[in-house]
Amino acid sequence: LCSDISPLLKDPEAFRTLIDLLEDHLRASFPQIDFIAGLDSRGFLIGPPLAQRLGIGFVPVRKKGKLPGPTESVSYALEYGKAELEIQSDAVEPGQKVVIVDDLLATGGTMCAACELLKRLKAEILECLVVIELKPLKGSEKLKSIPFYSLLQY
């Protein structure tokens, strides 16, 4: 089961509308956000324009070995094996308010790993935000007490 946002990315009006909708949601939900954290790799396509609209910074959460300098890393299970994510150790300061962004939530493993990394840095995770949620895979249940928002659900 797979969903692809590539057609949305190819259409400038549709992509602008996507960013408009996400921006409107975040502005209505949170009076202060310090950073958007985007997940490798599609979160890198959505996160920076959203952060720019909000006038805040963007922090990448990448696959292991891709970031310079000291990093925090976490291993997590995928449907088909294991993977590791990293964030730079100085990406956020304790108490800074962060929204984590990705294109898709399936089983929730990658999003949960990103939450773990930001918790280690003592960030306040305001919300996990995705464009598409695959509801039958129940990934949002793994996020437990962390607020979650998806624009589309299948």
Q: Does residue 133 lie within any of the structural domains?
A: yes
Burial (0-12, 13-18, 19+ Cβ within 10 Å), 35: buried
Domain of 75, in residue numbers: 32-153
Tell me the pLDDT tens digit for each residue of 45-83.
999 999 999 999 999 999 999 999 999 999 998 877 899
Per-residue pLDDT, 4:
84
CATH value at residue 38: 3.40.50.2020
Q: In whole angstroms, how far apart are CA 13 and each of 23, 46, 55, 143?
A: 15, 14, 21, 32
Percent of the chain with pLDDT over 70: 99
Q: Does residue 37 lie within any of the structural domains?
A: yes
Q: Does residue 12 lie within any of the structural domains?
A: no
- Name the band, by pLDDT with cuts 50, 70 and 90, for residue 1: very low
Q: Does residue 85 lie within any of the structural domains?
A: yes
| Amino acid type, 141 | E
Q: Does residue 76 lie within any of the structural domains?
A: yes
Q: Does residue 52 lie within any of the structural domains?
A: yes
Residue pair 62/85 in contact (Cβ under 8 Å)? The answer is yes
Cα separation, 35 vs 57, whole angstroms: 5
| Amino acid type, 137 | L
Q: Does residue 5 lie within any of the structural domains?
A: no
Number of helices (H), then strands (E), belonging to the chain: the values are 4, 7
Structural domains counted in the chain: 1
User: Does the pLDDT value for residue 2 go beyond 70?
Assistant: no
User: What is the average per-residue pLDDT within 18-34?
Assistant: 98
User: Among all residues, which ones are annotated catalytic?
Assistant: 42, 79
Q: Does residue 47 lie within any of the structural domains?
A: yes
